[in-house]
Amino acid sequence: MQRMFGFLIGIFTGALVGAVIALLLAPESGEALRGQIRERGQTFLNDVRHSADARRIELRGRLESLRAPRSEF
């Protein structure tokens, strides 16, 4: 139990130190940084949606070609 408690204290301390360092070294204000993160997130989601739509169209084409009647000689 004591090892687990020590481990959790270590995780908490590491997270706290990491957060303080990130705040001190951040190149922009919090509002500007949140705006950049929001913009990058939207760009990422748009790219994922575009890729999913393209893949869906490709797979529907393949499915239609597999469903088409075959003419065997």
Q: Where are the domains of the chain?
A: 2-66
Residue 33's contacts (CB-CB under 8 Å, 6 or more residues apart) are 26
Which DSSP category does 70 fall into? P
The confidence score (pLDDT) of residue 11 equals 94
The confidence score (pLDDT) of residue 73 equals 63
The three-class DSSP label of residue 1 is coil
pLDDT in tens, 40-50: 999 999 999 99
CA distance 52 to 36: 24
pTM: 0.52
**Average pLDDT score, the chain:** 89
Average pLDDT over residues 42-64: 95
**42 compared with 4, residue with greater pLDDT:** 42
Handedness of CA 22, 24, 29, 31 (dihedral sign): positive
CA distance 31 to 67: 53
